[in-house]
Structure 1
Amino acid sequence: MSVTRFIGRALLASIFIKSGLDHLQHPEPIVRAARGAEVPEPELAVKVNSGVMVGAGALLALGVAPRVSATALAASLIPTTVIGHPFWDKEGKERAQQQTQFLKNLALLGALLYLTGRE
C-alpha cells in the first residue's frame, strides 16, 4: 500500500471517527433531529450510526477491509445527510450553512463510493 493511499484513507476516516465519538458523547441534538424526522427508535438509531462511524472509520483508517468500511460509511452517511442537513426547510444564512454541510457530505459520499471500487 502506498503512503499516499494510507494518508488519504486516514484523513477521510478522521471526520467519521470524530463525529461518531462526538455523537456518542453528546447524542441529544442528533436524537432530536432523528425524532423530528420520525426515525423509529431514535436513541438506538443514533447509537448504531455513531458506532458504525467510529468502527468503520477506524477500519478504513487502518486499511482493514477498506471496501466494506467505505460501504458501511456511505450507507450511514445518506440518512445522516438528509436528516441532519435539510437545507430545503431553512431560509437565509441557516439555509446556506446547511446547504454547505449537505454538499460537503455529498463530497464525502463521492470519496467513499470511489473507494468501494478500488483495491
Structure 2
Amino acid sequence: MNAGTTNGILFLNRLLLAGCFLPPALARLTNISGFAAALTMKGIPYGDLVATIIVVAEIVAPLALVLGIAPRVSASALMAALVITTGALHRFWDYGGLTRQGEQAIFLANLGVLSGLLFYMLVGPGAWSWQRWWGGLGAKKAVKKKRQSRPRVSKPKPAPVRPIPMDDEDEYADAA
C-alpha cells in the first residue's frame, strides 16, 4: 500500500471514531443533569463531576482526534470515558429478555470502539494530521542509513610455546 492510501485510511479511522463520540456527547450536554442522575443511580460516586468530565472529554477529545492532536492523550481520555459509561450504563448481565440483548449489543459495540481507540493510540494519526504538519509541514524525516557490519574474521591463534627440556641444556649451551 502506498503512503497516500495508508494516510487516507488513518484519517477515515479518526473521523469514524470521532463520529462515535460527538453526537452522544452533544445530546448529553443538552441534558447533563439527566446523565449525572443516571450515573449516580448506577452507583458512580460524584455523578455530577464525573458526568461533566465525561461530557467535556467526549467533546474535546474527538475534535483533537479529527485534527490529529495529542493522539495518546485524546485516545486515553476517550477510553476512560468509554469504560466508565459502558461499565455503568450498559450492564447487560443485570437484565433479561430483549433488554438484555439490546444492552449486550451496545456493550459489544463499545468494545469495538475501544479496540479502534487502542489501534489509534498504537499507530498514531498518520501524515494527514496537525501533529505531522506542525512537526515539519508534512516533510519526511531523514532516515539514518544503517551501518553495515563487516563479517567477523577470527584472528589466528598464536603457536603454542614449547618448554625447553632441562636435560638438553648442555646441547643448547654447546650450540651457542
How many residue pairs get matched?
119
TM-score by length of 2: 0.63
**Structure 2: distance between partners of 1:67 and 1:15:** 18
**Structure 2: distance between partners of 1:72 and 1:41:** 18
Tell me, yes or no, if structure 1 residue 42 matches structure 2 residue 43.
Answer: no
**Structure 2: distance between partners of 1:117 and 1:35:** 33
Partner of 2:66: 61
Please state how far the C-alpha of 1:55 moved relative to its aligned partner.
Answer: 0.5
Q: Which amino acid aligns with 1:107?
A: G
1:117 counterpart SS class: helix
Q: 2:24 aligns with which of 19, 23, 30?
A: 19
Q: 1:109 aligns with which of 114, 117, 135?
A: 114
Query: Could you tell me the percent identity over the aligned residues?
Result: 34
Instruction: Give CA-to-partner distance per residue, 1:25-79, whole Å, 9 cap, x none.
Output: 1224422321112222212211110110110111001111122211111111111
**Unaligned 5+ runs, structure 2:** 125-176
Please state how far the C-alpha of 1:10 moved relative to its aligned partner.
Answer: 1.0
1:75 counterpart SS class: helix
**Unaligned 5+ runs, structure 1:** none
Q: CA RMSD in A?
A: 1.4
Q: Give every structure 1 segment of 4 or more consecutive aligned residues whose post-TM-superposition deviation is greater than 4 Å.
A: none
TM-score by length of 1: 0.91
